[in-house]
Structure 1
Amino acid sequence: MKDKEINNVGAGSGHFLMGVTDTVVMFYGYIFPCLDSRSVSEAGDSVRRGESSSEHWPSSPSRFHDSPLRAPPSPLRAPLSPFRLNFSPQQSRRDPLNLTLSQIYKITQNFSKDHIIGVGGFGSVYKAELSNGRIVAIKRAKKENFGALQAEFRNEVALLTQIEHKNLVQLLGYIDDANEQLIISEYVPNGTLREHLDGERGGILKFSQRLGIAIDIAHGLTYLHNYAENPIIHRDVKSSNIMLTTTLGGKVADFGFARTGSTKEGQSHVSTNIKGTAGYVDPEYLRTFHLSPKSDVFSFGILLLEILSGRRPVEITRRKEEKITIRWAFSKFDRGNYKEILDPLMREEVPDEVLKRILSLAFQCAAPYRRDRPNMREVCEQLWKIRKDYNA
């Protein structure tokens, strides 16, 4: 089943249209009553506050067809984490790209289909090699939706200029032209997490590799929520937006739906129209239109179950009792059948206690009310502890 995007649902709507079957409605309306409420300490849950920049645009758009590619300005370095885990590793930006639109046409062979490595709601992503041998990824907006995608394009560029972290895909430059909207980013060579879970990359991820990827994702989200120049909520955390490196390191990608969190004193959320992907979207956000960093935590909980089980959040082709992965998994968990939740393609022995702890964390993250969810920093620390004990 392809991911179904939820986009611009008005706050005055009397019902919520997700573009999928009633199975998805069940995901939010039927599963959560069976989940135990798990209180998690809210200490240290507030995000770093600063001046809001959700409407900021890095520079005036070009109107020249052969305009040079802009490199984003160097962002402010995030402060080192005061905690024992360093969530904001320092990495040096490479020299800015200096390409013209004509050069981009040349290295993509006029955006040949042979160069396409991915397709999404925004448009197609192309792989290209620069004259110095460096490989980059170029995301090109759909021409037929040029106007409608303008806000998403500018939002992604504006936010990417603020962040720099090894677990986030790095922006290298962009072009905003009357004829093209292009985002150029680092090329992550090993495909998406979903492709690996589907076995499309020639191997099956081991448990230790899955746990490492989950930790990488948690690090990236923790940085966005707590250590970016302004708090950033991704809003579309899912397996197809996680890119893997050759060493199976995880990088969070696609910031088209992301936005800055509230910077007002005493306000823990922002009110906004619904955006995201069905099955991953925070049910409290769906109900109230209040977005907070805990909305990403919910999506991460669903993703963590996906990483462990190999199943998508909604499995349309399965039997009724197995269609909603979190419901199916919780039923197994409640009976102590932890190993039955694991991806059957992953043939290795994992201690029950380890599975119990990581599954418990996933269910805490996916609690129906955000007050019962941990924050991403706490999630990171718990995952690190699980990995340490597992390797001991």
Structure 2
Amino acid sequence: MASFLCLRLKLRRKPVRVGESGFKKEPGPARMTKQQISKLTMSFSRSRVIAFGGFSTVYLGKFPNSGVAAVKVIDSGSSHRLSAVFRQELQILQRVRHESIVRVLGYCDEGEEGVLVFQYAANGTLHENIHGKWDSVLSWKQRMGIAYQLAQALEYLHEKCDPQIVHGDIKSSNVLLDSQFNCKLCDFGSAKMGFSSSVQPPLSGPEMIDGGARGRDISAATRPKCGRLATRMMMMGSPGYTDPHYLRTGIATKKSDIYSFGVILLELITGLEAISSSDCNERLVCKARQMLKDESKVTAMVDPRLDVGNNNLGVEVEAVASIAAMCLVDCPTLRPSASHILETMRIRVPSVGFLFSKDKGAA
């Protein structure tokens, strides 16, 4: 058994071409007409709207066979940049295949609006589930399963795709959850292919961006103000999640995604938002600084809804806090890779063991 696991770990490190990985293949997304999209959304009825983004609206689509989908309509007609973002997202989603990445079922590129049809995620976003939109509370085991699957998605993008893919906007509202609370990473509008991507950051730092989305934000773009479209549209990431090294240098790499993943780990531990809406927009990373320096202080910040003390999970929580601390170090080269994160979680976070009984590789 040990030799099998060792062999499997070695095989995982070999890069493969996107869409040529040897994994089980599924038919690519279908090109659809505007008439077909209209039927799916009941003529874009307001009653079917399930989410809004900066430049997009998401509708619940219903197929004749009773299947459902999320239909993302991107108003790209007013900007060549938005049109390019739509085509870039479509190009990447057409090529990637992984069980923890949302699957695109179809698309429409007729007219000024770009449309992407995705598999439907019945349990909304991770943001909604952590921060109180739903009455139920994600258990520690569910949270760790989601974190592990998200790390698997990043490992696939960063280490198994050729060229490598930087997602560019990892945040809890871009993590969808299906009916079994499995992770489905979405929104590749900011994604870049290649080892690193040079992208101009805002002139005066993260404060130039809006204070973060609330609720169901699945758009990479934020609505512009006062003619600052060009600057905003070149910005990668979201407030509270953006790699400080990127803000200083304008260079986004896969380690920028790892930083954002560290912020999500803090959200899962504390139940707090990446940017506090009630505390002068304080960043969670700043609020958790003492916890990150000293694992023994982590229990003071654990989400009280988790009842960690009575479930003997303190050691696991400290382990996850230490992983978050590694992801959030200032120097990108010192941050762990996604595969290193997975290996550490397998060893130090027993709660993810339930995932090993079935293959969670690329689909």
TM-score by length of 2: 0.78
The answer to whether residue 315 in structure 2 is matched with residue 353 in structure 1 is yes
Which of 15, 35, 46 is residue 113 of structure 1 equivalent to? 46
Alignment of 1:209-358 (within 5 A): 209-262=142-195, 269-273=196-200, 274-318=235-279, 323-334=282-293, 336-349=296-309, 350-358=312-320
Aligned residues: 308
- Once the two structures are superposed, residues 137-168 of structure 1 have per-residue CA deviations (whole angstroms, 9 ceiling, x without a partner) of 11101266453410110110011111000000
Tell me how far apart the structure 1 counterparts of residues 272 and 245 of structure 2 sit (CA, whole Å). Answer: 23
The structure, 1 or 2, with the larger RCO (C-alpha pairs under 8 Å, 6+ apart) is 1
- Once the two structures are superposed, residues 292-335 of structure 1 have per-residue CA deviations (whole angstroms, 9 ceiling, x without a partner) of 111101110111111111111221412x7x93322222314545
Tell me how far apart the structure 2 counterparts of residues 140 and 150 of structure 1 sit (CA, whole Å). Answer: 12
SS at match of 1:276: coil
Tell me by how many angstroms 1:290 deviates. 1.5
Aligned identity (percent) is 30
- Once the two structures are superposed, residues 254-285 of structure 1 have per-residue CA deviations (whole angstroms, 9 ceiling, x without a partner) of 000001023xxxxxx33223311111111111
The answer to whether residue 80 in structure 2 is matched with residue 147 in structure 1 is yes
Tell me how far apart the structure 2 counterparts of residues 305 and 352 of structure 1 sit (CA, whole Å). Answer: 15
Which structure carries more helix by proportion?
2
Q: Contact 2:158–2:165 (CA<8 Å) still a contact in 1?
A: yes
Matched residue type, 1:77: E
The answer to whether residue 322 in structure 2 is matched with residue 364 in structure 1 is no
- Once the two structures are superposed, residues 178-222 of structure 1 have per-residue CA deviations (whole angstroms, 9 ceiling, x without a partner) of 243101111111100000012222200111110110001000111
* Structure 1 residue aligned with 2:358: none
* Structure 2 residue aligned with 1:77: 20
Distance 1:133-1:292 versus aligned 2 partners, 3 A rule: same
- Once the two structures are superposed, residues 4-23 of structure 1 have per-residue CA deviations (whole angstroms, 9 ceiling, x without a partner) of xxxxxxxxxxxxxxxxxxxx
Tell me how far apart the structure 2 counterparts of residues 114 and 381 of structure 1 sit (CA, whole Å). Answer: 45
Tell me how far apart the structure 2 counterparts of residues 312 and 255 of structure 1 sit (CA, whole Å). Answer: 22
Q: Contact 1:206–1:346 (CA<8 Å) still a contact in 2?
A: yes
Tell me how far apart the structure 2 counterparts of residues 346 and 180 of structure 1 sit (CA, whole Å). Answer: 43
Q: Contact 1:78–1:229 (CA<8 Å) still a contact in 2?
A: no
Tell me how far apart the structure 2 counterparts of residues 202 and 261 of structure 1 sit (CA, whole Å). Answer: 41
Q: Contact 2:329–2:335 (CA<8 Å) still a contact in 1?
A: yes
Tell me how far apart the structure 2 counterparts of residues 96 and 176 of structure 1 sit (CA, whole Å). Answer: 13
Tell me by how many angstroms 1:375 deviates. 0.7
User: Please, which runs of 5 or more residues in structure 2 have no aligned partner?
Assistant: 1-10, 201-234, 355-363
Tell me how far apart the structure 2 counterparts of residues 157 and 346 of structure 1 sit (CA, whole Å). Answer: 38
Distance 1:47-1:365 versus aligned 2 partners, 3 A rule: farther
Q: Contact 2:102–2:184 (CA<8 Å) still a contact in 1?
A: yes
Tell me by how many angstroms 1:391 deviates. 6.5
Tell me by how many angstroms 1:347 deviates. 2.5
Distance 1:49-1:249 versus aligned 2 partners, 3 A rule: closer
Matched residue type, 2:287: W
Tell me by how many angstroms 1:102 deviates. 1.0
Q: Contact 2:144–2:352 (CA<8 Å) still a contact in 1?
A: no
Alignment of 1:168-247 (within 5 A): 168-247=101-180
SS at match of 2:272: coil
Query: Alignment RMSD, CA only?
Result: 2.7
Matched residue type, 1:78: S
Tell me by how many angstroms 1:110 deviates. 1.6
SS at match of 1:345: helix
SS at match of 1:337: helix
Tell me how far apart the structure 2 counterparts of residues 351 and 329 of structure 1 sit (CA, whole Å). Answer: 19
User: Please, which runs of 5 or more residues in structure 1 have no aligned partner?
Assistant: 1-43, 51-74, 80-89, 263-268
SS at match of 2:349: helix
Matched residue type, 1:324: R
